[in-house]
A and B are shown apart, each in its own frame.
Chain A
């Protein structure tokens, strides 16, 4: 069981990293882009805006938390 937990934790850290909010934000942005694209809206602009907001948010969160 210990190895399963360690294995899961390794992949979580490897893919999601230390800010899970970014991963969740990306999932929402991808879902939004997919939904709009499949309803006739060519939403090429959505992902770049989401990336910018997530990056700025993640950096500022780390600065303000005092961890950085």
Chain B
């Protein structure tokens, strides 16, 4: 039960974060150059992502569960540690935070300066929207496949991802602009903790380990990774303050 909740939460939040970034790209192009070709690009990328999940998801479920959990665990761990490291560095003040408004402005400027469409389809809009949605969605597709197949709950993972996309698009339609108020780094922090925790849990199980407390161990692992990440962020903030204070004094 608890692992299902964490699975839904992890997939939902990861999908929401990437959907926010894809929405910024799509809005910047669509607002400047029109919606027809932009939405065609979005649709084409969505079909490719759905095809990847539809092909790989059921195929992976035929692999022995221990091998699958080892591979999926390793993959989720590499993703999770990348997300977590960047989120910690951003929260600690060592990396700039994502600025969706700035990204939107850059996207609009680039779309304005690109060559005007000559035929029926604006290939610039199509390509930028296609590439943006595909690249932002690819990691989500792997997270959905990983979570879904390792837990045997592909439908739940797909549902969580779809729900996140619907929520982000609906909010985008209401706001009619990039979602700059979304606490993107906090979401990435949580997603990083969840990916790292599930990766550790499944990876170790796949390697032949039996966790004390069985499935409940996932909560302990998530707590351990979460506390470590918060402590690391606090240490970085203190270090940053000390360095800044020393620079002011000199």
Contacts and interface: CB of A to CB of B under 8 A. Distances in A.
B88 A44 contact: no
A68 B94 CA distance: 5
Contact of B81 (A33, A48, A51, A62): A51
Contact of B239 (A18, A23, A63): A63
Interface of A: 14-19, 22-23, 26-27, 30, 33-34, 37-38, 42-44, 46-48, 51-52, 54-56, 58-59, 62-63, 68
Given A15-B75, A16-B78, A59-B85, A44 B232 contact: no
Interface of B: 70, 74-75, 77-78, 81-82, 84-85, 88-89, 92, 94-95, 138-139, 196, 200, 203-204, 207-212, 217, 221, 224-225, 228-229, 232, 236, 239
Contacts of A42: 209-210
B224 A48 contact: yes
A22 B74 CA distance: 11
A26 B204 contact: no
Leading 7 A-B pairs by shortest Cβ distance: A37-B208, A68-B94, A34-B207, A33-B207, A17-B82, A44-B209, A47-B204
A58 to B, nearest CB: 5
Nearest to B217: A44
A49 B81 CA distance: 14
Contacts of A18: 82
Contact of A51 (B70, B196, B209): B196
22 contacts: A14-B139, A15-B75, A15-B78, A23-B78, A26-B74, A27-B74, A30-B207, A33-B207, A33-B209, A34-B70, A38-B208, A44-B204, A44-B212, A44-B217, A48-B225, A51-B77, A51-B200, A51-B225, A55-B228, A58-B85, A59-B236, A63-B94
B236 to A, nearest CB: 7
Given A42-B209, A47-B203, A58-B85, A22 B78 contact: yes
Nearest to B199: A51
Contact of B95 (A30, A54, A68): A68
Given A22-B82, A55-B81, 8 more contacts: A33-B204, A37-B207, A44-B204, A44-B210, A46-B204, A48-B225, A51-B225, A63-B89
B89 to A, nearest CB: 5
A24 to B, nearest CB: 11
Contacts of A43: 204, 209
